[in-house]
Structure 1
Amino acid sequence: MRCMLLALLLSLTALPAAPGGRIKALVIGINRYESRAISQLDAAMPDAKALREFLVSPGGPKCSPADIVLMTDTAGAALRPTRANVVAQLRKIAGLLQPEDTFIFYFAGHGVNRRGEDYLLPIDTNLVNEEKLIATAVPVGFVTNTLLTAPARQVLFVVDACRDTASSKGGVFGSALRIASTSGGDQADRVRATLSAARPGQRAFEWPKVGHGVFTWYLLEGLKGAAAEDNGTVTVDSLARYVQRQVSDWTKTYLKGRQSQLPWLLKDGVAPLELLHYQPKNLVSAKLDGTPLKAALQELARQVNCDLLLAPGVPETAPVTLTLRERPLTDALGLLLRPAGLVFEVQDRIIVVSQPTPAPATAQPASGPVGRDGMPLVLVPGGSYRRGSDQQVIEADLKLAADGREIPEYVFWNELTDREVSVDSFYLDQHEVTNGQYRKFVEAGGYRTQEWWSDEGWAWLQEAKVTAPAAWDEPARRTDELPVAGVSWFEADAYARWSGRRLPTEAEWEYAGQGGTGSRYDLGETLDPFRMSVGVAQPAAVKSHAASPFGLYDLTGNVAEWCADVYDPDFYRWGERFNPICVATLKVDVEVPRRCLRGGGYDADAITARVRKRAALEPGERRLNTGFRCAADLRVVRDMNR
């Protein structure tokens, strides 16, 4: 296991560099620390060496070897990665940078967070006490400030580390290492991005089979071309997507899903951050003369061996006249679809075409894919939305109390944000999981089979000694069409695993709840008790009310729904903007992290039933107004229904 391995990659501009610019780098890897109180690593130095070799290789950006400074355990005195040498080399190189230069700072080793401050641990770090730590470690703030004041045009901050408390022989103290998003300044062409190997609370693992950290292994594979877009460009976004998918798959294969590691990307600035350019791939050709849109898309998908998904509302028979000659797939799709006002996404060799999210489809066909439990699955096309509430929305929502009472503004503080975030296309259960569906899990031995439970969930189950949801034997609550309720987060998670799906993230749930319109409730701006199960004595059978714009039922009311995320009240302010998910809270005084809950139950009111409202419970808590629905990635559903 690789604990607290930090790979810090800063200020990477488009490769090859702009005319007149040079790529310079300070690459550091530490396996063996001088202090026995710090655990030794196996892959930090190989990772640093591999990155350096790539940067100077003919297949990479062809950096001048003289411009790449490598500091490792075995280097000579001036390049031994002590605190003094690291600081001196960083200042020296930063002082020599020109406006069009590229600067890379890579650090592989341990890192800790102490009292809210992040530190990189050079080889001579002293952990006897906090005073010694501060005197011998390198503050991350110093590194970022040094680099951000340098004239480098673009900055990429890559962290290969686990950010829970470091494990070591002497017990490295400090809470989770967290990396804050940097600011790109006022210049339009300045881009700042942070790419982290793991989210707060997760570990970044080493892979003994290949002799590298899992994240850095796939980072290098992505830079070598595996993360290239159809036009041949490796951008920080395409690199992040590639590494996220590969690392996530690795944990499922080698850790059997019992632990997870999910890289994440934080990006500031609107200019693209291009890393490398390769030959274009996925080239398509076609001569379309009045061809129906669906047939044209099917032909392009066939040429590059992709599947095709058309969301409701796409004009399948609209005639298309266009000639394409050896065009990258994404370019061809843009030429084909943008004139019709359509948007697309290519995910895991699946092409998704839909209306823009501000004008989503109003219904989903009944003949779509179904889950293992018979649940109809609804395609939710990916897109961007305004997360949470800004001050103007909060001021409007403060007036919602039916009895005229004043609602304190702090009720909304955990949803306060001005961020726009994006999510990939995904599938979501058409309605909440029902008693009838959950009974299949119970009868299949779900409460006796450890395979479907996380380690924490199985431990909870052994202690709780439950064999079914709360109040499962009450006749009034066993009606098959009612949503299952009285389940803990652990039970919902186990059911999702058994069914081949997962719980939705908070971001996915809120995006689906807003229905592409940014509405207050899933069916509009007004709470209508005749169209929603809110403020009533008991839940209704699923699909008793109208469907939302995405074709989903009862996202507002009926039962509150568990989400995958760990609850952190500040996550909306520090979380990433693309496929965000919180896997650990940064609150150091939390003993049992709570899990997120969305949508309000049948007993909710106008405030708590809003789709923007954030709530949470301890993962082992069971309430009769709480249930869930599942989500699934596109490729999972594709493979499930083949």
Structure 2
Amino acid sequence: MLKNKALIVGIDAYSQAPLGGCVNDAEEIAKLLEENEDGSPNFSVKLKRNVQTKAELLEDLHSLFKEGESDIALFYFSGHGTDEMAGQIVTPDFNGYDMGISMNDILRLANTSKSRNKIIILDCCYSGKLGDFSAIDSSDAIIGKGVTILTASNRDEVAIEDGITGHGVFTELLIQGLKGGAADVSGNVTPASLYSFVDQSLGVWEQRPLFKTNITGFLPIRTVEAKVSKKVLRKLHQYFAEATSEFQLDPSFEFTNTPEVTHEYKEPFAKEENVGKFKELQLYESVGLIEPVGEEHMYFAAMNSKSCRLTPLGLHYWKLSRDKRF
């Protein structure tokens, strides 16, 4: 079985214009990628703090993308970026126009890697130049098969540090997303869900992240506790035989509807089997997979013998459940 590997780099120690949060960025991203939320191993991480030279970082990039194979080879960089020479990530030994490593060189390494999925995440100014056709008149800008790019800003924008959190604005959102903010119902965090989470969190007047990819399907880069267990999700098609079906409820589904409870109750009284089903239906409703019909809350749908139905998101998971896709 192939494994995941990640090169995580944060550079604060520039002789000119030193930064304050990039090493913090790298350390937190490395910590989150090493393990899934349940403690199971995830990425084999090489964390590099304050890399001093272009040659050292190039060697690390070659090791990541060119040595061996993996399911995912991920490169994360937090530091200075420049728009010189079609975009470069800056190393502390910059000299003249040679500011560090060309973004096109990074993309070229990823494009030719034997790893199944190559992910490049840049939190630096002008990071949107990575994979930008307009940045250079060359096929070097073509995004190869299996490559995904996630950048903190557009090709002509700076990336900002947040003085409160001690992280870059972009990376702080990545951290929140990896902790679960970007997870789907099954608990999977993918590059696409991370981008969506970051994109929605930033206003139109703030730096705009970019997402570019050439893949046929995403592997999760981290898993967290599922909002609904796969065991329960697999039952979704059992409750709804067809996509347009409604599941009929009645008072017997509500566990408080019993003479032993001192409030209004009605027949049919709570039945253990239906109460168990209703708990699962309420779990579906809590994550937006189903909705009550004719009532605002599931409780009243049950007590008033109404029904519930799939939402558009629920229809997606219903199809996965029916087709045994998880």
* TM-score (ref. length: structure 1): 0.35
SS across alignment from 1:141: helix
Q: Tell me if 1:122 matches 2:122.
A: no
Alpha carbons 2:131, 2:143 under 8 Å: kept:
no
1:94 and 2:65 equivalent?
yes
Task: Say yes or no: does 1:263 pair with 2:209.
Answer: yes
Alignment correspondent of 1:49: 27
| Structure 1: stretches of 5+ with no match in the other structure | 1-19, 74-79, 127-131, 164-175, 249-256, 309-321, 340-642
1:314-345 Cα offsets, whole Å, 9 max, x none, are: xxxxxxxx999xx9983545538xx9xxxxxx
**Alpha-carbon shift at residue 82 of structure 1 (Å):** 0.9
- For residue 48 of structure 1, report the CA deviation from its aligned partner: 0.9
**1:574-593 Cα distance to aligned partner (Å, 9 max, x none):** xxxxxxxxxxxxxxxxxxxx
The equivalent of 2:164 in structure 1 is 209
* Cα distance between partner residues in 2 of 1:271 and 1:58: 20
2:227 to 277, 281, 284: 281
1:157 matched to 2:112? The reply is no
1:137 corresponds to 2:100? yes
Partner residue in 2 for 1:180? 131
**Closer, same or farther: CA 294–88 of 1 in aligned 2, 3 Å:** same
Partner of residue 223, structure 1: 178
Secondary structure in 2 aligned to 1:201?
A: coil
Secondary structure (helix, strand or coil) at the match of 2:58 reads helix
Q: Is the 8 A contact 1:119 1:138 kept in 2?
A: yes
User: 1:434-457: per-residue Cα shift (whole Å, max 9, x none)?
Assistant: xxxxxxxxxxxxxxxxxxxxxxxx
Q: Contact 1:28–1:81 at 8 Å: present in 2 too?
A: no
Question: How many angstroms apart in 1 are the aligned matches of 2:172 and 2:130?
Answer: 21
In the TM superposition, what whole-angstrom CA distance separates every residue of 1:142-185 from its partner, at most 9, and x where no partner exists? 2221222121111222222332xxxxxxxxxxxx8612166565
CA contact (8 A) 2:147 2:214 kept: yes
The match for 1:304 is: 286
Query: In 2 relative to 1, CA 40–329 (structure 1 residues): closer, same or farther, beyond 3 Å?
Result: same
Q: 1:323 to 1:333 in 2, by over 3 A?
A: farther
What's the CA shift string for 1:479-532, capped at 9, x where partnerless?
A: xxxxxxxxxxxxxxxxxxxxxxxxxxxxxxxxxxxxxxxxxxxxxxxxxxxxxx
The structure-2 alpha-carbon separation of the partners of 1:42 and 1:328, relative to structure 1 and needing over 3 Å to count, comes to: farther
- 1:199 and 1:292, CA in 2 relative to 1: closer, same or farther beyond 3 A? same
SS at match of 1:42: coil
TM-aligned CA deviation for residue 141 of structure 1: 1.6
Secondary structure of 2:81's counterpart equals strand
Distance in 1 separating the partners of 2:215 and 2:222: 19
Q: 1:288 to 1:155 in 2, by over 3 A?
A: closer
Q: Which residue of 2 aligns with 1:71?
A: 48
Q: Offset of 1:288 from its aligned partner?
A: 5.6
Q: Per-residue deviation at 1:295?
A: 8.9
Any idea what SS the aligned residue of 2:200 has? helix
TM-superposed deviation, 1:33: 0.7
- Aligned equivalents of 1:239 and 1:204: distance in 2? 17
Contact 1:206 1:212 in 2 (8 A): yes
| CA deviation after TM superposition for structure 1 residue 216, in Å | 0.7
Task: Determine helix, strand or coil for the equivalent of 2:211.
Answer: strand
**What letter matches 2:47 in structure 1?**
L
Query: What is the CA–CA distance in structure 1 between the aligned matches of 2:148 and 2:159, rounded to whole Å?
Result: 19
User: Any conservation in 1 of the 2:75–2:119 contact (CA below 8 Å)?
Assistant: no
Q: Which runs of 5+ in 2 are unaligned?
A: 133-140, 249-280, 292-306
Greater share of helix: 2
Aligned positions of 1:41-440 closer than 5 A: 41-57=19-35, 59=37, 62-63=41-42, 67-73=44-50, 80-98=51-69, 100-115=70-85, 117-126=86-95, 132-134=96-98, 137-163=100-126, 178-180=129-131, 183=142, 185=144, 190-248=145-203, 259-281=205-227, 287=239, 303-304=285-286, 330-333=313-316, 335=318
| TM-score normalised over the length of structure 2 | 0.66
How much has 1:110 moved relative to structure 2? 0.9
User: Which residue of structure 2 lines up, in the alignment, with residue 579 of structure 1?
Assistant: none
Partners of 1:202 and 1:260 within 8 A in 2: no
Q: How far 1:89 sits from its partner (Å)?
A: 2.2
Per the alignment, residue 440 of structure 1 pairs with none
Q: Percent identity?
A: 22
> Given the superposition, is the C-alpha separation of residues 191 and 86 from structure 1 closer, same or farther in structure 2, using an over 3 Å criterion?
same
Kept in 2: contact 1:214–1:247 (CA 8 A):
no
Deviations 1:30-78 (A, max 9, x none): 11212x3xx22111111011112222245366257xx4322223xxxxx
Q: How many residues align?
A: 260
Return closer, same or farther for 1:119/1:287 CA change in 2, 3 Å cut-off. closer
Aligned partners of 1:63, 1:160: CA distance in 2, in Å?
22
The residue identity in structure 2 corresponding to 1:223 is L
The secondary structure found in structure 2 opposite 1:193 is strand
Letter in 2 for 1:104: L
Do 1:228 and 1:234's aligned partners in 2 also have CA atoms closer than 8 Å?
Answer: yes
Partner SS for 1:124: strand
| Distance in structure 1 (CA, Å) of the matches to 2:210 and 2:62 | 28
Task: Render the CA deviation track for 1:337-385: whole Å, top value 9, x for unaligned.
Answer: xx9xxxxxxxxxxxxxxxxxxxxxxxxxxxxxxxxxxxxxxxxxxxxxx
